[in-house]
Amino acid sequence: MAASVASSGSGQPPPQRSGGGAVRSTTAPGLAWEFLRRNPGYRADYAHWRCAPEAPIDRRWGLRFAADPQLAAEDAQVFWLPEVAPGVVLRLERRTGEDGSAAHRALPKGLLVRAEDGLHLRTDWGLQVLVRGEDRPDAPLFVALSFDEHLRLRVRAIDALERLAAGRPPPKSHLSAAQLARIGRCLTALDGDLAGDSYRQIAGRVFGLAALAREPWKTATVRAATIRLVQTGRGLMNGGYFKLLHGGL
């Protein structure tokens, strides 16, 4: 079963970013999507998928369902595979025959997609929940927790789910403020590179025109920094976004 994916109907690249790298999404899953949706290979795969939506999207992208690359993280129906995002996708099960005397919390609000492997829920924080046993809606929910190298990430996801259910603030991102700022600059640099801009044009957009006037361009520190940002942005677009997912929320 494929997700019902909204589409803008445009074949153009994501809109050019402006400013010094401000990022609307500050969640690791959202930022991972921002890089993936700029990948020309994924955009081509999505275009082919739209011609045959009954076929699943290639799993090499890490997605459970195809998602429209025209849409930013806040608007796209992005669901990551559990194996690529162990600290993002939390597995729950409804079990009959268990003690039902205690009050059980309902699932938090979010985007829902039903598929053959269960009910998929994505929250505003980027946390995903995969629920099995939804044919028993009155049965209590239990967390299915694998005792493996990703245990700490999964425990942190459980904490996020509990916070959601209790109406408390989200947990702090595993990305620092400095990392978020650099990721924003990488996105700005990547967009300029994909649009065919020169390094000088990209540097002006990232660091401001005043920074360009301080040094001769060929030996300027901002030139070297801009090249590194473009290279890092390309690396994140071409599979490096998995590292963002591996860190959890």
Determine contact, residues 89/156, Cβ cutoff 8 Å.
no
Asked if residue 215 belongs to a domain, the reply is yes
pLDDT digits (tens, 9 = 90+) for 76-126: 999 999 999 999 999 999 887 655 555 567 788 899 999 999 999 999 889
Asked if residue 30 belongs to a domain, the reply is no
The total number of structural domains in the chain stands at: 2
**140 and 103, same domain (yes or no):** yes
pLDDT of residue 176: 93
| Matching residue, tokens 């999404």 | 25
pLDDT of residue 1: 38
**151 and 183, same domain (yes or no):** no
**151 and 99, same domain (yes or no):** yes
Asked if residue 27 belongs to a domain, the reply is no
Domain membership of residue 153 as a residue range:
89-166
Asked if residue 147 belongs to a domain, the reply is yes
Average confidence (pLDDT) over 22-48: 90
pLDDT digits (tens, 9 = 90+) for 172-205: 899 999 999 999 999 999 999 999 999 999 999 9
| CB atoms inside a 10 Å sphere around CB 206 | 24
Determine contact, residues 91/82, Cβ cutoff 8 Å.
yes
pLDDT of residue 25: 72
pLDDT of residue 53: 85
Residue that wins the pLDDT comparison between 134 and 73: 73
Residue that wins the pLDDT comparison between 16 and 173: 173
Asked if residue 171 belongs to a domain, the reply is no
Among 166, 198, 218, residue at a domain's last position: 166
Q: How far apart (Å, rounded) are the C-alpha atoms in residues 3 and 119?
A: 11
